[in-house]
Homo-oligomer: A and B are copies of this chain.
């Protein structure tokens, strides 16, 4: 009944629903833009977010708007794509409908799950209130406010022990996000104490990076990880490895038997996929990821596809593909093209193959690492390349210009952005407000 060639009559059009407007979902939607297929993108947020730079929002270097764009705008030029701001509450796989918290169910001929991942607290959800991860603008703002507020409270405090605790930041997880956060906090804190505070001593300011495994940056070759550790330590970050976290509460982190009193904690230790597996009633693997076939269709389901952090795909060597933006983006592009071929011409695409574009982490002013597999890069040039690549990856010319100007300004003056603490911060109680921000 549904034939691609009838695409001009809206009621006969084939329908694709994409859940999630991140790197994967958007790449997929773009490939389907201006096709005779009716595409619906559903996201519970109205914006996509350039997550690699989110740590700069959390440390007051950039504004949220610098690294986000409304999904509606990104896809606005494609008249066949509709965007819905709604939360998916479940799937009706037999009837081929996606169920939403607002509005009618949306029917599909093919469904793409690109719901991304969230931080994994390994069964300790109560830690989330004290140790937010870095996945959303909300969390980035929360981290920024706690960090800045800890400094403000330290300035007001007359108790040396409390002062010391408030000036101690703990970052949990030695992956790229943890490393980037730790070095950015160190830079921000040192600058603020030196210039803007009157009663804080630099020697009381500590940033501690806690990693459970034997070394940080474990996804990178040992040589680069070692360089990263040295640079971090030069920037004043204490790196503690083989220290699994045992508890986190409002005032302290206990890890490997050591108690660290702290004013702000950031969580960057491992992710898990969002609840797509439970919607599909399939067994998620490796942190809830949904196993997929080489064409990215979900194993055991018909007309359902998964990409990015949601999917557990395999590389050529049989190993699981990492949860990286570049994987999501490549899978989205591939799947968009493949679905277009399938639904408009009835053709089957070649299986997906991942092309490694290199893995990178920035350690701070003038230091970054790149791992391209065959060759590696570190130091000032890597840092410069990192900056160029990340500006280039931003969504349009305006944002590239705005971010470039701010980076150049920060580099020359060491100043940070507006360092905003929201106006109600004076009555700031982290746990109760965590999930109620509007």
Q: Is the CB of A425 within 8 A of B76?
A: no
* A153 touches B (CB below 8 Å): yes
Contact flags (1/0) for A375-419 with B, using CB distance below 8 Å?
Answer: 000000000000000000000001001100110010000010111
* A285 touches B (CB below 8 Å): no
* A374 touches B (CB below 8 Å): no
Q: Is the CB of A84 within 8 A of B156?
A: yes
Copies of this subunit: 2
Enumerate chain B residues within 8 angstroms of A153, measured Cβ to Cβ.
102
Q: Is the CB of A65 within 8 A of B418?
A: yes
Enumerate chain B residues within 8 angstroms of A104, measured Cβ to Cβ.
158
* Other-chain contact of A433, B199, B421, B434, B436 (Cβ < 8 Å): B436
Please classify the interface of chain A as helix (H, G, I), strand (E, B), loop, or mixed, using the class held by over half of its residues: mixed
Enumerate chain B residues within 8 angstroms of A86, measured Cβ to Cβ.
156, 426
Enumerate chain B residues within 8 angstroms of A152, measured Cβ to Cβ.
46, 85
* A160 touches B (CB below 8 Å): no
**Interchain CA distance A138-B438 in the complex, whole Å:** 10
**Interchain CA distance A157-B103 in the complex, whole Å:** 6
Interface-facing stretch out of A66-74, A209-217, A296-304, A320-328: A66-74
Enumerate chain B residues within 8 angstroms of A63, measured Cβ to Cβ.
63-66
Interface-facing stretch out of A11-19, A25-33, A177-185, A190-198: A190-198
* A279 touches B (CB below 8 Å): no
Q: Is the CB of A423 within 8 A of B138?
A: yes
Given A104-B158, A430-B438, A438-B142; A137-B420 close (CB under 8 Å): yes
Q: Is the CB of B419 within 8 A of A73?
A: yes
Q: Is the CB of A426 within 8 A of B101?
A: yes
Q: Is the CB of A428 within 8 A of B421?
A: no
**Interchain CA distance A402-B152 in the complex, whole Å:** 28
* A435 touches B (CB below 8 Å): yes
* Other-chain contact of A424, B83, B149, B435 (Cβ < 8 Å): B435
* A295 touches B (CB below 8 Å): no
Closest 10 CB pairs of A and B: A65-B418, A103-B156, A63-B63, A85-B152, A72-B196, A433-B438, A76-B196, A63-B65, A46-B421, A136-B423
9 further A-B pairs in the complex, CB-CB below 8 A; given A46-B419, A69-B418, A85-B425:
A46-B425, A68-B420, A73-B196, A73-B415, A82-B198, A87-B426, A136-B423, A398-B415, A402-B402
